[in-house]
Amino acid sequence: MMKHDQSPAGDGQQYERVGEFVAIFARKDVWYVNYQHGNRQVRRSLKTRSKKEARRRALMIEKEILSGEHKHQRRAPLIKDVVDQYIASRRGEGRSEKTIGKYQYGYDLLLEVADRGNRKRISELDVAMVDQFRAERCRGGSGRRPAKPKTVHNDTVSIKQLVNFALKRRMITENPLRELEIDKPKRTPQPCWDRAQVEQILANTKPPYESPLIFLAETGTRVGEAKWLTHDDVDLERRLIHIRPKDGWKPKSGDQRAIPMTDRLYAMLSTIPRRGRWVFTARVTARHPEVGRQISERRLLQYLKRILKRLGYVGHLHTFRHSFISFAANSGIPERVLRQWIGHADREILDWYYHLADRESKDAMQRLSDAAKLSKPANDTDPNSAQTQHNPEED
């Protein structure tokens, strides 16, 4: 018959001794072990709801104690503390504040989910809690907007990175998410304008938004790269645009690169007056009378959306990038060169951008069809004529 003891802490908890040194007890249907080690009382979760399994694990701990091989695991840190340390680490690596903000946004929701489940420590994370996090992220729980599958995927990867960070820093010894599987989401089809549509959009633009939109269309850069472009980045003599990091910002790819100017871009950049550090500046208003402010991505997008609505097109600022890459690829620009211009090193991402416009795709298929017709033999040609042209017996 098992012996039952009262908790040494005097909290009324019933302990069931399963060996000479160890005892087990249940708390909220989860079994814990209690024992003395190194003149310290140790109580920790056995991470099981099965009493039989709890007894087995407790006896394994006793065996380690008797053999002198037992090493007491330190109590796992709070999830919040691990999040703070992880974000500080990413800042130390030079991650942008925009990226840090994305991390924090997802981790804040994770902390809310953990708090509702009374899970405070990093070791208490489990797959079920991550599933709950993903479900709330999809439907927009806790006052947040519903997230797209790619965003949910990225946030889930961030949670796994958080746990891996704790493992590498030896905050925990076991991976609580080792059973977590993360399926890569299917790519969402993106709008892509053909060259004529791009020209029509640009024809409807006016200053001060005309110049940055021409820049996006002629370079395939991201809007952030246009926003952070300085006059020192523009080499008119060599006709090159330099995309490089600044204090507080760096390109998404992290790589510096140089993009040659088209004639149109060269002509446009040659006429932009220098009003401070930035090439593309915001309009001076009564509310913002300062000259030389950076352009606002939000206002630039709002302006573009009004033009698109008027023309009956769909898209956004990043669609200029899609369209540039599609046009360059279909014009025969080598992939190696195109990758240098756009800053991508990932072949899969570049393949995603390699669209064929409908008209160009049909033209290509028509050329293939015409070539097949030309290769067909004439109707009156003897199918055996190739053999009768040369008879070895006549040699």
Gyration radius of the chain's alpha carbons: 32
Q: State both tokens at 381.
A: 């040609």
Query: Class of the 79-168 domain?
Result: mainly alpha
Closest by CA to 198, choosing from 112, 40, 31, 324, is: 324
Q: Whole-angstrom Cα distance, residue 322 to residue 337? A: 16
Q: Whole-angstrom Cα distance, residue 204 to residue 211? A: 12
Q: What is the pLDDT of residues 269-288, one digit of tens each?
A: 999 999 899 999 998 888 88
| The 240-243 sheet, strands edge to edge | 234-235, 240-243, 257-260
Q: State both tokens at 331.
A: 């014009």
By CB atoms closer than 10 A (0-12, 13-18, 19+), residue 268 is middle
User: Would you state the pLDDT for residue 1?
Assistant: 41
Polymer length of the chain: 395
Residue carrying structure tokens 């012996």: 3
Cβ-based neighbours of 224, under 8 Å, separated by 6 or more:
249, 251, 252, 297
User: Would you state the pLDDT for residue 228?
Assistant: 96
User: Would you state the pLDDT for residue 5?
Assistant: 54
- Domain 195-353: CATH superfamily is Intergrase catalytic core (1.10.443.10)
What one-letter code names the amino acid at 27?
R
Q: Do 68 and 36 meet the contact criterion of CB atoms below 8 Å apart?
A: no
Cβ-based neighbours of 136, under 8 Å, separated by 6 or more:
109, 113, 142, 144
Closest by CA to 250, choosing from 104, 91, 95, is: 95
Domain edges within the chain: 4-67, 79-168, 195-353
Element (H, E) at 304: helix 297-311
Q: What is the pLDDT of residues 20-33, one digit of tens each?
A: 889 999 998 899 99
User: Would you state the pLDDT for residue 197?
Assistant: 97
Q: Which residues of the chain fall short of a pLDDT of 70?
A: 1-13, 71-73, 141-142, 345-362, 376-395
